[in-house]
Amino acid sequence: MKSIIFGISIIAGFILISCDKEENKLVNDSEHLVDKIYDYNNQLVGDYIYDDNNRLVEINMYFYDTDDGRRIDYEFEYQKNKVKTIKYIEYQFPQANHSIELTYNSSDQIVEKETYKNGNLISKQYYKYYEDGKLKCLTDENGNDNYFFTYDQINNVIQVKWLYVDVWFGGDTIEKYRNFLYDNMPKPNFGIDYLFFLEPLPGFGTEATLEKGISINNMIEYVESGTKWIYTYNDNDLPKTIETQWKNIETLEPMMLRIEYKE
């Protein structure tokens, strides 16, 4: 019996040492949820509302690019403790309003995403997984696998292979690759990491949304585009500010988000 306990201790110690060598810091889903986000000028741009079970039920995003400003809301409806429906509401441009319906498999993985507008189905997306649970690829409505993910040892997406048909030059299938770099720190926590297709950060753009959502750590560079994200961290090692820097483009002021967390 003593030898068994000793062996378990060695294994546990080895796991701890391995984690320490990777210096990869993670945070529990129930700790330090994002509360509010402000821009460089300390204007509120993101407000996050949770229910009594710390489930995210609403995101309010505010934009100041027009005289009257704009507001976009995401509303989340749950079934069996997983988001089943997402409603996108844009008040100034209601023609953009739509809803997303999610289908899960027996392992609680999203396998199908349907987008509806005015009650009509406008798109479908399918997802396939490796045996270890990581997302393997995207599959189109015709059953074609066309976007494949490659991971590092820490489960960050470091490369994707994208297959598309070149309709302008002979209809050949073309392969393109995209590569990404990461820090070793936890991402801002909204409690919805499994909604990997959704960008919960206001005004963060659409570059590499899937790759960011799937990965464990914060993406710091999209190699092919040259876009970089500069992070600072708070005392809990969570992102405090995020600055987006576009390649060869200077902005009048930093494109920065300031994050506050619930305690």
Pairwise CA distance, residues 210 & 198, whole Å = 8
Residue type, position 86, single letter: I
3-state class (DSSP) for residue 20: helix
Q: Would you state the structure tokens that stand for residue 124, as one six-digit string?
A: 């479908």
Domain boundaries, the chain: 2-261
Burial class (CB in 10 A: 0-12, 13-18, 19+), 160: buried
* pTM of the predicted model as reported, rounded to 2 decimal places: 0.86
For residue 27, what pLDDT band results from cuts at 50, 70 and 90?
Answer: low
Residue 126 has pLDDT above 50, yes or no: yes
Residue % of the chain over a pLDDT of 70 = 87
- Tens of pLDDT, residues 39-97: 999 999 999 999 999 999 999 999 998 878 899 999 999 998 999 999 999 999 999 99
Residue type, position 222, single letter: Y
Class of domain 2-261: mainly beta
Pairwise CA distance, residues 235 & 231, whole Å = 13
Residue 223 has pLDDT above 80, yes or no: yes
> For all residues of the chain together, what is the average pLDDT?
89
More confident of the two residues 213 and 9? 213
Q: Which residues contact 142 (CB under 8 A, 6 or more apart)?
A: none
Pairwise CA distance, residues 28 & 168, whole Å = 48
3-state class (DSSP) for residue 243: strand
The pLDDT value recorded for residue 4 is 40
3-state class (DSSP) for residue 59: strand
Q: With contact defined as beta carbons under 8 Å apart, do 245 and 220 qualify?
A: no
For residue 26, what pLDDT band results from cuts at 50, 70 and 90?
Answer: low
3-state class (DSSP) for residue 68: coil
Q: Mean pLDDT, to the nearest integer, of 5-27?
A: 45
The pLDDT value recorded for residue 216 is 96
